[in-house]
Copies of this chain bind each other. A is one copy, B any other.
Amino acid sequence: MVKFVSEDETQRLISHEAAFEPVRQALVAAASGDARVFPAVIARASEPQNTFSLKSGSTADLAGLKVGSFWPGNPAKGLPRHNSTIFLIDQDNGRIGAVIEASAVNAYRTAAADAVAAKALARPDSETLAVFGAGHQALYECVALARVLPLKRVLVVARDPAKAQRFAARLAERAGGPAVRVAEAEDACRAADVVVTATPSRAPLFDAGWIRPGTHVAGMGSDARGKQELPPGLFARARLFCDLPSQSVEIGEFQHVRDEIDRGALTLTAIGDVLEGRAPGRASADDITVFDSSGIALQDLYIGRFLLAAASEGRGVAA
């Protein structure tokens, strides 16, 4: 019997806080040595502009995949461009055990990795956030960070001034406490305790020299070859962390310093090892910490399991 959780239901069940624990578990699993992430498939659908992706993984007690899709014409029909569905494979018999529609969930899941890492790595008194990007994901990143840090202000950096203003207004409403204003990249970086990037950039968004000692920098946008948001010059001055080192050096921010990492000139630590106390995180208030999220299927599997359990508790699961 396949269990099914609908998009309507997962939208009711998800929240920033709800996503933190399953994503923390996924990051810990990713560092455990008993977790695997398989090569992503990027596929073209019937129409050339429509694409879908298959991202799969397994841990000691979970296996499955997420099918993501990108239909750029959807907004014209009042539908979201991105859709996601999580499939859990029953480890007792190999059959598909659960189908979980998780389109709205996806932004929470990605932002949760940022928040869990920032809680572990950023200075606990971090008050100023600089955000690069003014899209849907950037909004979720800022709101999630505001739940784990005592933010007083958010400085928004985006190329399109009108879009930046609209984003700032929406964020002020959603984040509650912090003051939000549009800023230039250099001013924002020089003032920030935390910098988060959530863009599709293919070149560094700021100068390494603009980052103060003590800052935490989170690169959320690099998830493919050729993508880049952070200046590699920053890395030699910083402590480096990521969700999954083997993937981060392939498609994440650290693809651009893979040689240095391979030969030991730079050290990259899985954040799960920090969360479990197996590796040091920030050692002093002057450390610069960098976290790269390349996005791992394990986050989807753990979020899927949480949603399935929450749905089963609250009401019957359609089959």
A residues in contact (CB < 8 Å) with B: 2, 4, 6, 36, 38-39, 41-47, 50, 52, 54, 56-63, 65, 67, 69-71, 74, 77, 79, 83, 85, 87, 89, 91, 93-96, 99, 101, 103, 318-319
Contact = CB atoms under 8 A, between A and B. Distances in A.
B77 A58 contact: no
B43 A41 contact: no
A93 B79 contact: yes
Copies of this chain held together in the complex = 2
Nearest to A56: B43
Nearest to A54: B54
Contact of A2 (B50, B65, B101): B101
B91 A96 contact: no
A318 B1 CA distance: 12
Nearest to A99: B99
A67 B96 contact: yes
Contact of A39 (B6, B41, B56, B103): B41
A69 B46 contact: no
Contacts of A65: 54, 67
A52 B63 contact: yes
A36 B47 contact: no
A91 B41 contact: no
Given A96-B85, A318-B319, A46 B62 contact: yes
Nearest to A37: B43
A58 B45 contact: yes
Contacts of A43: 36, 38, 56-58, 63
